Amino acid sequence: MFGEFQVNLLANLLLDKQYYTLFKNVTLPTENGTTQIDHIIVSRFGVFVIETKNMKGWIYGSSNQKTWTQKIYKHTTTFQNPLHQNYKHTQTLRSALEIDNDKIFPVVVFIGDSEFKTAMPDNVVYAGRYIQFIKEKSQLILSNLEVMAICKKIESGRLSPTLKTHVQHVKHVNEIVEARSQKADNSCPKCGIASI
């Protein structure tokens, strides 16, 4: 939550509200539950879909890896590739808004005391760089009417931003994690096929 607050603060301070509209904690319905997007910024320069990671330590990963690695001293953990996570968000949003892929820009913002130890794609940035990434998109690709229509669709299509919506989304995510865990527990350690 602190990381998301920092992203909100930077957007509110450094992006002109006349040209950029910020949506926070947008939960959208999907075919099999919900997906929650940390931030969406809508402008004539495109729609920016932001995934926030508040982490510390050394971060290792590449765009095509399924999981990335966080290392804090001798402690090593893996976490889902945030680009893959954000891909689902962008595709859900693209479908809901009925706009082309080239008008949506996924961005992963790392907050906290972390350091990338592998080369990262241009759209994986530290907090201080994410506003710059957005402002570098300077070509007008949406009209004022399109921006207004997109903002209206996000506002009307999102689930109500209440505690109840958040709790239901967390429950949905926990069910997915539990199902994956059970599948992994029942699979052969050599070939990965689930045993009967």
Predicted TM-score of the model (pTM): 0.80
Q: How far apart are CA 165 and CA 24, in angstroms?
A: 14
- Asked if 105 and 151 sit in the same domain, the reply is yes
Ranges 99-103, 134-138, 154-158, 179-183: which has the least confidence:
179-183
Structure confidence at residue 169 (pLDDT): 42
What per-residue confidence (pLDDT) applies to 179?
Answer: 57
The length of the chain, given as a count of residues: 196
77 or 160: which carries more pLDDT confidence?
A: 77
Cα distances from 190 to residues 26, 65, 133, 187, 195, in angstroms, run 40, 20, 43, 9, 12
Residue 194 DSSP label: B
Helix count (H) and strand count (E) of the chain? 5, 9
β-sheet bridge partners, residue 78: 69
Same domain flag for 61 and 90: yes
Shared domain for 156 and 171, answered yes or no, is no
- pLDDT for residue 158 is more than 90: no
Strand boundaries in the chain, DSSP class E: 20-30, 33-43, 46-54, 57-60, 67-72, 75-80, 104-111, 114-116, 124-126
Same domain assignment for residues 121 and 145: yes
Please choose, from the candidates 33, 78, 25, 71, the residue with its C-alpha nearest in 3D space to the C-alpha of residue 52.
Answer: 25
Which tens digits make up the pLDDT trace of 52-111? 999 999 999 999 999 999 999 999 999 999 999 899 899 999 998 999 999 999 999 999
Q: Domain span at residue 9?
A: 2-160
Q: Determine phi and psi for 152, rounding to 5 degrees.
A: -65, -40
Per-residue pLDDT reduced to its tens digit, 179-188: 555 655 555 5
Q: Collapsing DSSP states into helix, strand and coil, what is residue 73?
A: coil
Q: Is the pLDDT of residue 196 over 50?
A: no
Same domain? 149 vs 168: no
Same-domain check for residues 18 and 50 = yes
